[in-house]
Amino acid sequence: MVARSVWSRNLEIKPSIIAIPSGCESELATALSAHAISIAPGELVVEIDANGVMYTHVLDVTHSAEYQEQAQNMRSELLSKIIE
């Protein structure tokens, strides 16, 4: 889907950089969360600030807000299983 979107002549995407709070207390958990985001097609964490906010490049910002909370909950559940 990502390749099709990028190579399409109609390029109907709205790329942007969004701020996603990691919600993690440890640097390891924040790094794992950033990795989980980056392996998703069309998303890449480009910077993490001192407060754990992950600045993430997304191909289509129109849908990112509605999926952000759901994805954050899934990452939190997975991280709790890994770090325990």
- Amino acid 42: pLDDT: 82
Q: Which CATH architecture has domain 2-83?
A: 2-Layer Sandwich (3.30)
User: What single-letter amino acid sits at 6?
Assistant: V
What is the rounded average pLDDT for all residues in the chain? Answer: 80
Which residues lie across from 47 on neighbouring strands? 55
Confidence band (pLDDT; 50, 70, 90) for 45?
Answer: very high
The domain locations on the chain are 2-83
- Please say if the pLDDT value at position 55 is more than 90: yes
What is the distance between the alpha carbons of residues 53 and 41, in angstroms, rounded to a whole number? 20
User: Is pLDDT above 80 for 29?
Assistant: yes
